[in-house]
Structure 1
């Protein structure tokens, strides 16, 4: 006859409960999983399924009473660890969003904004296109599978109960500067091309003041901007692949993984 003590029950609950919170914290910010078009029920069921499958294979969690105050603090701790890991990956989407915003401003499309009610934000149309392109490229590179593997590996590198403040939080802060740097680096070729166009129309305005530069410059700037983006797209997949690898490596290093 199977007999379960209170200690055994608490151990079984902890085996599933703590991984669920860390995985759910990551899903709250990770690309694709955190999108507003993915229902919260789907995220909850997926996190429960992964925690149920991986929980018995993970290191034994600390013996904590699930109904105690310390268990509540441990749950918030696991949610925070998962959120920090998901935050690093979410910067991949923000890089392309900022890239599209920079290019839209240079092309004169800054007013062309699309409302995204699912996520509660407004995106430039070009930025939304690049975000969709980056998400599909992330899936094509199996980035979602690698990120889930890193998330499961984090339970070995940073076991439950190891704390949050001992993590390299400064690295997460530095990644925000890395986000702006990557977006600017990919935008520089198109921005410089548009700058030369604006300088050319400025010279034309001085050389022929009677010429209506504004009516001629806007469509020309837009056409040349689209041509510059077309050229930039030829090197975008390779560069974005390197950025995805850097983000996944940073996600691994956050929980003590090797570079």
Structure 2
């Protein structure tokens, strides 16, 4: 007759439960998978499937009672590790949102705001458009598959039970400064072009005070902004692929991986 002890049952549950917590923590905010349009059931089933596939390949997990307070702490740690890993990718996607917001301000479209149900807030129209473009480009580059691969490798590079505070948290905080630098780098050509347009109309307003510069300047700024948006798509995929590679590399190095 088959008999199992509580220790064996706890070990069996922990083999699947700890990887599930880390993967589910990443799927909460990972681009596309963390979107509110993706049902929670799909995310849970995907996390359970990946956990079941990689469980036999993982290093030994800590032997902790599944219903103890220590097990709760360990589950929270795995959620935080997965959350922080996926945060690198979430910051990368929001580079495009900030890029669109900068262009909207220069074009005079900052008042054109669209409600975004996926984030629960309001974003500039171009910001939402570029965010969708960045998400599709990330999927086209198979970035989601690379991210899941890094997440699976994290169990070997940063085994379960290593804790959270030993991670290089300052590198994660530095990414919040990186988002502004990356968005400004993408928007710099359009900002300079719009600055030339605004300077031109400033000179016209001084040379011909009777000219209604506001009636003429707004549509011209809008037209120049649309041209900047059109021409920005020529070099945006290559630059954004570099940003994706940088974000995935930072995500891999965060858990002790060597590039």
The TM-score range, normalised by the shorter chain, is: over 0.9
Q: Which segment is superposed worse, 61-70 or 44-53? A: 44-53
- Note the residue ranges of structure 2 that are not aligned, 5 or more in a row: none
1:132-172 CA distance string (max 9 Å, x none):
11011000000000000000000000000000000000000
Question: What is the deviation of 1:79?
Answer: 0.3
Partner of residue 29, structure 2? 29
Partner of residue 146, structure 2? 146
Q: Normalized against structure 1, the TM-score is what?
A: 0.98
1:3-42 CA distance string (max 9 Å, x none):
4332221111111000000001101111111111112221
Taking the aligned partners of 1:110 and 1:188, their CA distance within structure 2 comes to: 17
RMSD of the alignment, in Å? 0.9
Q: Normalized against structure 2, the TM-score is what?
A: 0.98
Question: What is the deviation of 1:45?
Answer: 1.4
Taking the aligned partners of 2:61 and 2:126, their CA distance within structure 1 comes to: 46
Partner of residue 76, structure 1? 76
SS in 1 for 2:234: coil
1:42-93 CA distance string (max 9 Å, x none):
1111111111111122112100000000000000000000000011110111
1:203-229 CA distance string (max 9 Å, x none):
000111111110111111000111112
Q: Which segment is superposed worse, 167-176 or 5-14? A: 5-14
Taking the aligned partners of 1:189 and 1:116, their CA distance within structure 2 comes to: 27
Partner of residue 178, structure 2? 178
Partner of residue 108, structure 2? 108
Runs of 4+ in 1 over 3 A off after TM superposition: none
- Note the residue ranges of structure 1 that are not aligned, 5 or more in a row: none
SS in 2 for 1:235: helix
SS in 2 for 1:210: coil
